[in-house]
Amino acid sequence: MKNIVIFGAPGSGKGTQSDKMIAKFGLEHISTGDVLRSEMKNGTELGKTAKGYIDNGQLIPDELMVSILAGVYDSFGKEHKGVIFDGFPRTIPQAEALKQMLSERGHQVSAMIELDVPEEELMKRLVLRGQQSGRSDDNEETIKKRLGVYHSQTAPLIEWYRREGIHHHIDGLGELDRIFGDISAVIEAL
Ligand code: AMP
């Protein structure tokens, strides 16, 4: 079982590369952003709570995120080949909770793959995505807040996973296929 955390700032290509990883390696996929957007679309209580944070470029509280995660993970059953965690963890408490949740099931994170993309490029990609997808949080003001949150709350996870001995850095700027080749090499070596 290969559980992979695909990591990076908003706009670093986590979703795009996850799709390729699912297709090539038959992995399951949890995107916490997608889970929250679907709750918002369905107008659930969770969706209403999430909307306030998302439209403000802020993170949903850890306890709430963590409580959703185990349910989605368990929905894949026990025999899966591994799960890609996309957009989770985003804080150190979330990383600790993920480690604990997996270890309670006799599982673990096999690799954290960081897609490293310069800030200027992230901004360009997110503004473009906002024009194409109409995502309510892909506007310039909210993007700036999300990048700020990434630097202050999420980027410290790079060091956290380095200490766990499973951090892999990948240059996330350039050809999609080259980036995916680099990711594949990490997964194949696990
Ligand atoms: P994403 O699609 O991963 O960029 O997530 C969009 C938004 O959903 C984020 O800006 C957060 O407001 C919220 N969100 C997604 N994943 C998490 C998480 N793991 N912890 C807290 N908030 C999250």
Strands of 28-31's sheet in order across: 28-31, 83-86, 3-7, 109-116, 167-171
Q: Where do runs of H (alpha helix) occur along 4-155? A: 14-25, 32-41, 45-54, 62-74, 92-104, 119-133, 140-149
Q: Which helix (H) or strand (E) holds 181?
A: helix 176-188
Homologous superfamily (CATH) for 4-189: P-loop containing nucleotide triphosphate hydrolases (3.40.50.300)
Q: What is the CA(163)–ligand 1 centre distance, in A?
A: 24
The residue whose CB lies within 8 Å of the most ligand 1 atoms, and thus the one to mutate among 19, 37, 41, 60, is: 60
Residue 41 has pLDDT above 90, yes or no: yes
What token pair was written down for 113?
């793959």
User: What digits encode the pLDDT tens for the residues 17-40?
Assistant: 999 999 999 999 999 999 999 999
State residue 134's pLDDT score.
83
User: What digits encode the pLDDT tens for the residues 91-102?
Assistant: 999 999 999 999
What percentage of the chain carries pLDDT values higher than 70? 100
Domain boundary assignment for the chain? 4-189
User: What digits encode the pLDDT tens for the residues 136-146?
Assistant: 899 999 999 99
State residue 139's pLDDT score.
92
- Is 59 annotated as ligand-binding? yes
Q: Which amino acid is at 160?
A: W
Residue of 135, 144, 145, 162 with catalytic role? 135
Tell me if residue 90 is catalytic: yes
What percentage of the chain carries pLDDT values higher than 90? 97
Global pTM?
A: 0.97
Residue of 51, 146, 162, 163 with catalytic role? 146
